[in-house]
Chain A
Amino acid sequence: MSIANKANRLTPYVFMAPAAIILTVALLYPICYMIYASFLDWSPSQRIGEADFVGLRNYANLLQDAAFRESFWVTIKFAAVVVTLEMIIGVGLALLLDRNIKGMSTLRTIFILPMMIAPIVVGLMWRYMYHPTVGIFNRTLKSWGFEGIPWLSDSNWSFVAVVMADVWQWTPFIFILSLAAMQSLPRSALEAAEIDGATEMQKIFFIKLPLMLPVLIVTLMLRLIDAFKVLEVIMVLTNGGPGLSTEIVALRIFRTAQEFQELGEAAAMSNTLLMVLMALTIGMFMYNKMQENRAVRMKAAASKGAV
């Protein structure tokens, strides 16, 4: 092979190199750094080189750490509850609003406003609304003659409180994606169902939801991944309390690093969370891949089958 030829073949790689290098540094470096740090007994006063290598001790500690197990459980509970509620409300709203109402576009914009507000602001806003004496919830309850609710000071109610705030902020995400999915459903299939004698409910359960399923599954995965990483709203609302009742993993990591100054331990926690999220992400990729393969198989079958 001539030199010119060789150079030609190398050209694309040369062009791609800067992007590849930046990607590697920006993506892999922090992750590798974190993985490495999780094997160290490292306090913020030390440089990373001075920290002692402790092998898997940080991970072993995690397994025995009741507080971490508790916050892991809280995270799972939180993610499961909020995502379930958000899916039901979001899809339900989309089903209700999938029609031509006057001012629909304005209405839709209003619906997605919560998503656009910074989580810190959402947290602050809800904290004022949950205020035991001047918050709107308790004032309303009292004006109706009920007892006020200890929203943020009771360990059961505080979980409800953070769930409500998260549902308020993230339901629109599911609403807007399922509305888009619904509006791209084949109109004629729904008309055919109508002629076949399906009621509105039967159309929803037998036609609309099954056809929306691929979008719903991806939406669910995205929300789940996000719910596992939630931090700001809860930090502002309850800061994990009372007790550990709302201390989700992200908050635990933050406190381990900031308050307890255990960088290695925090890194090990992060890695554990990362592995969970990785599993979810891989699950989503596999689902997508499955869909693609199925589409390819179908196409092949259709073109093979003659008239």
Chain B
Amino acid sequence: MPKIVLEGLVKRYGAFEVLHGIDLEMEADEFTVFVGPSGCGKSTTLRMIAGLESVTEGEIYIDGKPVSHLEPKARDLAMVFQDYALYPHMNVAKNMSFALRLQRRPKAEIDAKIADVAETLGLTQFLHRKPGELSGGQRQRVAMGRALTRDSGTFLFDEPLSNLDAKLRGQMRAELALMSQRVKKNMIYVTHDQIEAMTLADRIVVMNGGYIQQQGSPEELFKKPVNKFVAGFLGMPPMNFLDGEVAEKAGEIYVEGQDFSVKLSREKADAIRAHSGRKVTLGIRPSDLVYSPDAADEQSLLLNIVVSEYVGAQTVLLCECGGQKIDVELKSDIPIDRNRQLRFAINPEGVHLFDQDTEAAL
């Protein structure tokens, strides 16, 4: 299936620029997820690939062929919309076969295809219902079925799960993952939900303010975020940030702030030694803090517990350290006194440093 390349993609509405030059290569059969907060330009990018928005500058290549001036139907894509975009006056079978009927394919072929897709998606018994007679989950499936019957090289998804309730969303997410394994196609998926991004993607593209912040595998982005935005966006609960200053004491490098002083590992220390005295932000994920009353001061944080949120097997402690908020995630069966100051050791692997001015990772 085709390889898709975006080259210097710019979108302007009048004088207002919403995308500032997007460069991206998506390998064949890859599941790419665009993720970012609302208004970051992810949906616009997808709609430009689909051909529903014009390209102001730059080019989109599908299989090496520039397509930005082609009609959507000439681009060999199928799309699933956020509100499903089913045709309300057609029944499920008609909805799914619309594209094939427009292509005047033989009726037998269409019927076979519909039966096949309906079977896979568990829609066989609903083929004669209209979208208004279906539940949200079923409509979602019909929208996916409509895309599947097309046999396009590329599937586009525009926040397809955001109109479902939480339980259904989890279920559909799993089905999507299954589907993407089965049909080897390019999938381009837009979401603002970082869990969907992490679970589904081969490649995550994090966007903010019309720029790509970082792209790579979920693991890469989670472990080595290039800036504070990516670090804070991926992961739940989000990463903690503590403002401090780099200090050198007796050859060791510390990050010091209000009520804390953390010694950096040798590797980190070497990377940052030249920046002594610089203002930095220390980033630690809630799961990288471990309850440990006897840990050394310089490898731990002393936190005031403010609120404890019990979520079953895990408990999230909302704490405070020198006036800055910090979350800790720990197993619920660890016996702790929830009304006190407690000491948590920092996993040395889990220490991230960001420049306070540029927010770039150091």
A188, closest chain B residue (CB):
B85
Q: What is the bound-complex CA distance between A298 and B72, given in angstroms?
A: 33
**B134→A195 contact, CB < 8 A:** no
Minimum CB–CB distance for A306 against chain B, Å = 7
- Among residues of A, the one whose C-beta sits closest to the C-beta of B140 is A307
Interface residues on B, range: 35 or more
- Which residues of chain B come closer than 8 Å to A193, judged between CB atoms? 87, 98
Tell me if B81 and A191 are in contact (CB < 8 A).
yes
Which of A189, A197, A206 contacts B85 (CB under 8 A)?
Answer: A189
Contacts A202-B102, A211-B89; is A195 near B138 (CB within 8 Å)?
no
- Tell whether B60 is near chain A: CB-to-CB under 8 Å: no
User: CB distance B81 to A188 under 8 Å?
Assistant: yes
**Cβ of A303 < 8 Å from any Cβ of B?**
yes
Q: Which residues of B contact A257 (CB under 8 A)?
A: none
B132 touches A194 (CB 8 A): no
Alpha-carbon distance A197/B129, docked complex (angstroms): 23
A66: CB under 8 A from chain B? no
**Interchain CB contact under 8 A, A298 and B99:** no
Q: Are A207 and B87 in contact (CB under 8 A)?
A: yes
Q: What is the CB-to-nearest-CB distance from B124 to chain A, in angstroms, rounded to a whole number? A: 13
Question: Is A22 interfacial (CB-CB < 8 Å)?
Answer: no
Asked whether B87 lies within 8 Å of A189 as measured between CB atoms, the reply is yes
Most chain B beta-carbon neighbours within 10 Å: one of A192, A206, A306: A192
Q: Is the CB of A197 within 8 A of B103?
A: yes
Q: Quick check: is A305 within 8 A (CB to CB) of the other chain?
A: yes
Which of under 10, 10 to 19, 20 to 34, or 35 or more describes the interface residues of A?
A: 20 to 34
Q: Which of A196, A198, A207 has the most CB of B within 10 A?
A: A196
* Proximity string of chain B (214-246) to chain A, C-beta cutoff 8 Å, 1 when within and 0 when not: 000000000000000000000000000000000
CB < 8 Å: which of A195, A299, A306 contacts B77? A195
Question: Is there an interface contact between B83 and A298, defined as CB atoms closer than 8 Å?
Answer: no
User: Which residues of A sit under 8 angstroms from B129, Cβ to Cβ?
Assistant: 301
A302 partner, pick from B72, B102, B103, B135, beta carbons under 8 A: B135
Is A145 positioned at the interface, with any CB of B under 8 Å from its CB? no
Q: Is B183 engaged at the interface, CB distance under 8 Å to the other chain?
A: no
Question: Which one of A197, A213, A301 contacts B99 once the chains associate, using CB atoms below 8 Å?
Answer: A197
Min C-beta distance of A305 to chain B, whole Å: 5
Residues in B with CB closer than 8 Å to A307 are: 135, 137-138, 168, 171
Q: Mark A282-305, 1 if CB is under 8 A from B, else 0.
A: 000000000000010111011101
B138 nearest CB neighbor, chain A only: A305
A188 CA to B150 CA in the complex, in Å? Answer: 18
Contact with A along B63-81 (1 / 0, CB 8 A): 0000000011100011101
Interface string of A169-211 (1 = CB under 8 A from B): 0000000000000000010110111111110001000110011
Closest to A209 in B: B89
| B17 adjacent to chain A (CB < 8 Å) | no
Interface string of A158-174 (1 = CB under 8 A from B): 00000000000000000
Name the distance in Å between B70's Cβ and chain A's nearest Cβ: 12
Identify A198's interface contact among B86, B102, B135, CB under 8 A: B102
Residues of A within 8 A of B268 (CB): none
Contact at A186–B85, with CB atoms within 8 Å? yes
Judged by a CB distance under 8 angstroms, whether B296 is at the interface is no
Q: Which residues of A contact B50 (CB under 8 A)?
A: 195
Name the B residues within 8 Å of A188 (CB-CB).
81-85
Task: Evaluate whether A197 and B73 lie within 8 angstroms (CB atoms) in the complex, with A211-B89, A302-B135 already known.
Answer: yes
Q: Please, how many angstroms separate the alpha-carbon atoms of A126 and B54 in the complex? A: 47
Is A194 a contact of B135 with CB atoms below 8 Å?
A: no
Which A residues lie within 8 Å of B88 (CB)? 186, 189, 211
Q: Judging by beta carbons under 8 Å apart, are B52 and A191 in contact?
A: yes
Q: A186-B83, A192-B87, A196-B98 are in contact. Are A306 and B135 (CB under 8 A)?
A: yes
Q: Are B79 and A195 in contact (CB under 8 A)?
A: yes
9 contacts between A and B (CB under 8 A): A186-B85, A188-B83, A188-B84, A192-B86, A194-B71, A195-B51, A195-B79, A196-B146, A197-B102
- Residues on B lying within 8 angstroms of A by beta carbon are 50-52, 71-73, 77-79, 81-89, 98-99, 102-103, 126, 129-130, 132-135, 137-138, 146, 150, 168, 171
The 8 closest A-B pairs by CB, nearest first: A188-B85, A197-B73, A196-B99, A298-B132, A301-B133, A192-B85, A307-B137, A210-B89
